[in-house]
Every structure is written in structure tokens, then in C-alpha cells.
Amino acid sequence: MDNFQMIVLLLDATMRTSTPLILAALAGMFSERAGTINLALEGMMLGGAFSAACVAYYTDSHWLGLGAAVLTTMALSLLHGFACITHKGNQVVSGMAINILMSGLTALVGIALFAQGGKTPALDHSARFQPITLPGADAVANVPILGSLYSELLSGHNILVYVAFLAVPASWWVLYRTRFGLRLRAVGENPGAVDTAGISVIGMRYKSVLCSGFLVGISGAYLSTAQGASFLSDMTAGKGYIALAAMVFGKWRPFPAMFACILFGFLDAAATRLQGVILPGIGEVPVQLVQALPYILTVILLAGFIGRAVAPKSLGRAYVKER
């Protein structure tokens, strides 16, 4: 039962670590399905995390912090769209520019406001998203196996964890069962045909980057007001890039992308628990190797173990209307 309990705790940690990846991967999927590469996820997550931590600290409200994060990332999405959609700039350069900008700007403003080396003060209990106990979780906690799965694995997470996992079927429904989703996917495959049908390609691409900004804003807020209790300089630690890798791993589809995020989240959670553990025949696992596991797996999977990932045909191409 001890081994079972350890597995449950590891899966519980996996749900927490995969939450920001799932939200960011869905954000990238909405943008890229419409033909706009969004490498700016890393910078947007940083901006959202910083805004959420600052507003939650000053207002003592995690909901206002979440709203500030979403507004910040949607503004950055509009900036990315203005550069790439309106002015037809290089989408990769624009995304990397936002990443570099937010990496420096969050640290600069953090030092100016709080003088703690880019870190924000620790948030109080009321300024953070707290765990939610599901109905009946305490009553079935002592039931073997099923009780542990319900009370420890499914219950006890904050609301943003549940939002992230519910966003996956919601995104699938929007993309594959609504008129908006059909148009969005069509813009990413054949924008000329969409334009001929009288639908604004530019308008649809702006809507897609706004959807992307909304989701990645929740991801950023989760890092500083739910998973953590403050903002730290460069606290995303490459999660935006891992989310992009998971999105490609999932071939731009919601459920496969979610499973890829869970895999990366599992490695992240396992890395924390494997530090200092002595394995039979191997000895103590080096901390550096454990911490590098998610990134090593990213490279290995993208090097050819996922089969051919076919991107939307107009991905990365600015649309120029034929005259």
C-alpha cells in the first residue's frame, strides 16, 4: 500500500505540474490553427504571472490577480498580432522579442516596485487560490484504493487545475463542433478560400490570438497565485517552450496535446521526488540529470518518435489579399 500511496502522490503532483503546460499548449493551438506561430507563450506566461502576483498582493484578491493576468496576456497577444497579422512581420522574431521583453521588463518593474531582486512579496492566504475539497472526499478517504484515488488524486486541487482539464474538451468542442472553429481551422489551411467566402482572414486571426492570450493568462496566474505564492524572476523556466513541444507532439489537437503535457508534467513531478533517491544498480541519481529529464525527452520525442506532425498549411505565412 505504501507503493500505491507513493504512486497516488506522484500522480497528484503530475496534475499540478501539467496544469500550466495544458493551458499554454491549448493557447498555442488556437493561435497556430489559424496560421499564426506563437513563440511568445513563454513571455506571456511571465507577464501574466507577474501581473497576477502584483495585483493579488495589492488588492488581496486572487480573482483580481487572475483578471489582471488575462488582460496583460491578451494585450501582449494583440501586440503580437499587430506585428504579425497587420504588418505581416516575421512571426518567430515577434514571438522571441516578446519573450525577451517580458523577461527583462518583469524583473525591472519588480525591482522598482518591491526592491527584492525581481521577486514579489509572498501572498497572503486570501490572495491565493486555495485547494477545493470535493463532496464526500473526507468520508471515503479510508476506503482502499478508490477512496485514495478520489480524496487525494481528484480532490484537493485549486480551481485552476480543474479549469485546465475542463478546457481540453471545451477546446475540442469549439474547434470541431462550432462555426467559429471551422472558420478558424479553414483560415489556417486555406486563407484564400476563406477570404473568397467573405470571411475576414485578419479578423479570424486576431480572434485566435486573443483566445491564445486568454488561456495563457490563466496559465501565468496559476504559477504565481496557485502553484506558488509569489512571482520569481524567470519563474516559467521554459514551460512555454515545453508547451509548444507538447502541442506539436499532439499534432495540434487538444486531447493528444493534453496527454503530452501530462507526460512532461509527470517527468517534472518525478524529477522532484527522485532527487537524492538511490536506485538499485545505478546509485544516487544526479540532481542535474533529473532536472534535465523533461527537456531531454522533448528533444528525443521531437527528433522523430512522434511520427510525422503535419502543421496547418498556412502556418507562419502572412496573408496577402489577391487583387
Please, which pLDDT band fits residue 119 given cuts at 50, 70 and 90? Answer: confident
What digits encode the pLDDT tens for the residues 182-212? 999 999 998 888 888 888 899 999 999 999 9
106, with CB counted inside 10 A (0-12, 13-18, 19+), is buried
Q: What pTM, to 2 d.p., does this model score? A: 0.90
Within 10 Å of residue 11's Cβ, how many Cβ atoms?
16
* Residue 254, domain CATH: 1.10.3470
Within a domain: residue 276? Answer: yes
Mean pLDDT score of the chain: 86
Within a domain: residue 132? Answer: no
Residue 45 has pLDDT above 90, yes or no: yes
Within a domain: residue 314? Answer: no
Residue 72 has pLDDT above 90, yes or no: yes
**Is the model more confident about 322 or about 134?**
134
What digits encode the pLDDT tens for the residues 133-164? 888 777 776 777 777 777 777 888 889 999 99
Within a domain: residue 186? Answer: yes
Report the SS3 class of residue 283: strand
E strands present in 218-290: 278-279, 283-284
Number of domains in the chain: 1
Within a domain: residue 293? Answer: yes
Within a domain: residue 322? Answer: no
Within a domain: residue 242? Answer: yes
Q: Which range of residues forms the domain containing residue 161? A: 2-127+137-305
Within a domain: residue 320? Answer: no
Q: Return d(Cα 49, Cα 69) in angstroms, integer.
A: 6
